[in-house]
Structure 1
Amino acid sequence: MLLRIVNQENSLFPILKEDLQLKALSHKEQKLIKILDFAEIEKNLTVVSITNTPKDREEIARAFIAKSVYNIQTTRDLIDRLKNDRTLRILCGWRYKSNIPSESKFSRVFKELSVLQIAAKTHERFVKEYLEHTIFFYNATDATKIPLRVKPVKAKKEPIPKNKRGRPKKGETPFSKKPTILQQQRTMTTTKEMLSLVSTKCGVGVKQNSKGNREVWIGGKLHISAVDGDIPITAFYSGANIHDSSVALPLMNETSQRVSYLYDLQDAGYDSNNIRDFSKKLNHRPLIDINPKNSTELKEKIELKLEEQKKFEMLNLTQSSDTHHYNQRSMVERVNKYLKEDFGCNTIYYQEATKVASVLAFGILCVCIHQSLKLLT
């Protein structure tokens, strides 16, 4: 990877400056060239046609990477930028303004790219090619809200059979509660099986923010696993009504298959023995915050720990190593910030779950490559 970066800066950039007749490449242009070069999204665009091969597929795929890098929110703004910015247009693959397709064609091609999951496949291939043999310390997991302008899908409530009051009769078996998604995932082995239980339909999400206030939104959630250097390794999209812990096992399972790491860092929303046992099964050490729920004993223990930490900080004494390790969980929060504020995922105007997931996947791909290069250089 380092050799490739050196070749880009010493050979590719001077050649591009001469060909494009520029005094210097801007920071954004250099960033886009590096991401396009490492992504190699063209390798995943295998379109087979009997008669006429579809045009502009590679160019449009590169344009959607540029949309994330330049933090452009809509396709219409992207087309306007391509028509006015000659350097960006040539980097994406079009020589003249007249060659740029219409907005409707951009929309049709993006739907194809979303169904084929081109961005997610490119992200997975980059991780396996460049990061597979790297050993990371931490894997932090968290979910971020994705508000959408869509009506939530009303879930049909199945009638829950109730047991009769009192002691059951001889030979009568009482009804058992339906197992949760997390309990069902324990017996599964593949990530695909685990995700089959997770709905991607638009729902209503309720979450408590860092200030303790309750937030309600309509849309979905993006569940991210990020390792050292703020590098997102795995990301899955779900409906807003899906609990964070329901996607914890597939995230850990997929991330451990792609890279090697030591610690699983998660907040109180993932407080479950099922998640801890699964992490240990994968030869990792789980560090998960305790959720007191309605237990007064747990609340008192947490308050005591916080008081001890404050005393240790005042006296400049060394704290528990677990506290230091758990504080590294902020890396996944920074990934959420990069994704929304710097890589075009702040406001999403698409409606279908596949398209929304594809927009987020293009952002995750760009963040992953950018942070990997930043960590190296």
Structure 2
Amino acid sequence: MTIIRQGSLFDLQDLYDLEPTHRFEAVFSTIHIDPILAVVSKKALYGAPVQLNYAAMIYSLVARIIERIPTTKDLIKRLKHDYMFRLDCGFLLSDPIPSEASYSRMLTKLAESDVLERIQETQILQAIIEGFVTDDTIAIDATHIEARDQAPAKEEKPKPEPKKRGRKSKEEQENWLQEQAEREAALPIFEKTIEAQLDTTLEELRSSVPMVPKWGIKKNSEGKNVFWFGYKGHFAVGTKSQYILQSLFSSGNLNDGKAAIPLLKGIHERLSILPISYSTLDAGYDYPAIYEQIYRIGAHSVIAYNKKNESELEGFDKHFAPTCVREHSYRYDSYDSRYETLKYTRPKECKDCPLAEDTLCQKVYKVKITTDLRRYCAPARGSKAWKTIYKQRSAVERVIAYLKEFFQLNNVRYRTGKRAKVHFDFTHLVYNGAKLACDRLTQLISNKQMINAA
């Protein structure tokens, strides 16, 4: 299944079937590299003259992902022996081939800057302006990324001191609560509860993301725990266009839910021209703070509910629809956006019920979603419309699969988290660039067909 919209005349496989020169030109044209050149180029006129072609080096890193070249060493070898590839990347025959150290120094400069994130936003804004991104629904999910380094040996944790038995005095209890509050306030933002992110700025959130490789845990398809050492990639994807709208790179032990609010704030603040109506996420993101953030940006939550050992509410079914006295569920009818109210109507089973006219069995039931954003959403949980939107969440899983299979997302070759993030950002940039190139070629073919038909 392709990652391009249905009915497309040109998909990623067609892009890869093009001649390398045309393929590279199509993707290179979607990436504005001037800001990168401003970061990596020499700043002063003094000192030894620069003999490196930085623009060609940047394009060669893009080509490395497109061509699935595993390492920088292999990229240099390809540049030395494949003259057409060398010219396609922008090197002149008279240009010296950069060494691994030269590439390393350039990547270090990029790791200390947010320039790749700014180019990603410029790229997606260009796709929106050209009319290729018209999504009203986004899907968010995370994936594990293994580090190449060997995991360190697990440290033995010191045994905690045995707790004192007996009840604390009032003074001891107050001191303990004060210590807990001070300890919580001193924690980094991503070690606090998710609620702490609601009133934190996007810049502070993104600059505080932990990026040190750590042990992570996830459940496989058989429900068993699988451990890995490395990182996580978090993505917010347009479910229709399947462009990456926002991404986040973190340590492998970061809870998926703690990356949702930075992604949502990024879309709201940096892609404000894209109106988002729905956000769909799996049960791993079922936290009240995430519902609150989605509500604040003017969208609706379509998130799988995680019971978390909660008891069922009396008078309501498993989807929180009210039930009649005979425990038949009311039917979701509509949503009134003006009053933010869900409307339920009497169950079909109550048509011939002798209690239908009783005051205990009301005909219409209304509830405001702000009563409990986690339980009440529009469309209502369990409704056909809710299920239809939730199925669109598979778009982000499909994008992650393509990133790993075709764009080397899992091929992190760097020891530090900042350098690994550069690889992650290039992967994001090249994927969206390939999507935009395909959409432009599709539009060009469609226009030619319309002209020929006329």
Per-residue Cα deviation, 1:63-94 (whole angstroms, up to 9, x for no partner): 11111111112111111222233222112121
Structure number with the higher helix fraction is: 1
Residues 27 and 433 of structure 2 are in contact (CA less than 8 Å); yes or no, is this contact kept in structure 1? yes
Are residue 42 (structure 1) and residue 34 (structure 2) matched?
yes
Structure 2 vs 1, CA of residues 319 and 94 (structure 1 numbering), >3 Å: closer, same or farther? same
Any idea what SS the aligned residue of 1:108 has? helix
2:297 maps to 282
TM-score relative to the length of structure 1: 0.79
Q: In the aligned structure 2, how far is the partner of 1:160 from the partner of 1:182?
A: 29
2:265 maps to 253
2:248 maps to 236
Are residue 324 (structure 1) and residue 394 (structure 2) matched?
no
1:222 maps to 233
Larger Rg: 2
RMSD: 3.1
Shift of the alpha carbon at 1:197?
4.4
Say which is worse superposed, 73-82 or 279-288, in terms of deviation: 73-82
Query: How many residues were matched structurally?
Result: 336
Shift of the alpha carbon at 1:347?
2.1
Residues 339 and 363 of structure 1 are in contact (CA less than 8 Å); yes or no, is this contact kept in structure 2? yes
1:264 maps to 279
Shift of the alpha carbon at 1:97?
7.8
Residues 153 and 203 of structure 1 are in contact (CA less than 8 Å); yes or no, is this contact kept in structure 2? no
Q: In the aligned structure 1, how far is the partner of 2:280 from the partner of 2:424?
A: 23
Residues 127 and 436 of structure 2 are in contact (CA less than 8 Å); yes or no, is this contact kept in structure 1? no
Unaligned segments of structure 1, at least 5 residues: 1-24, 303-317
Residues 53 and 95 of structure 2 are in contact (CA less than 8 Å); yes or no, is this contact kept in structure 1? no
Any idea what SS the aligned residue of 1:221 has? strand
Amino acid at match of 2:31: A
Residues 138 and 236 of structure 2 are in contact (CA less than 8 Å); yes or no, is this contact kept in structure 1? yes
Any idea what SS the aligned residue of 1:229 has? coil
1:143 maps to 142
Per-residue Cα deviation, 1:125-184 (whole angstroms, up to 9, x for no partner): 212333268542211111110100333598999999989743652795252563834122
Unaligned segments of structure 2, at least 5 residues: 1-16, 186-191, 320-381, 443-454
2:120 maps to 123
TM-score relative to the length of structure 2: 0.67
Amino acid at match of 1:169: K
Any idea what SS the aligned residue of 1:116 has? coil
Residues 263 and 287 of structure 1 are in contact (CA less than 8 Å); yes or no, is this contact kept in structure 2? yes
Q: In the aligned structure 1, how far is the partner of 2:73 from the partner of 2:37?
A: 23
After superposition, residues 75-94 of structure 1 pair within 5 angstroms as 75-94=72-91
1:368 maps to 432
Amino acid at match of 1:281: R
Any idea what SS the aligned residue of 1:38 has? coil
Any idea what SS the aligned residue of 1:39 has? coil
After superposition, residues 1-377 of structure 1 pair within 5 angstroms as 26-46=18-38, 47=41, 48-51=43-46, 52=48, 54=50, 55-96=52-93, 99-131=96-128, 135-150=134-149, 151=151, 165-166=166-167, 168-169=169-170, 173=174, 175=177, 176=180, 178=184, 180-188=192-200, 190-227=201-238, 228-259=240-271, 260=274, 261-295=276-310, 297=312, 301=318, 320-375=384-439, 377=442
Q: In the aligned structure 2, how far is the partner of 1:321 from the partner of 1:160?
A: 54
Q: Percent identity?
A: 27
Q: In the aligned structure 2, how far is the partner of 1:241 from the partner of 1:186?
A: 21
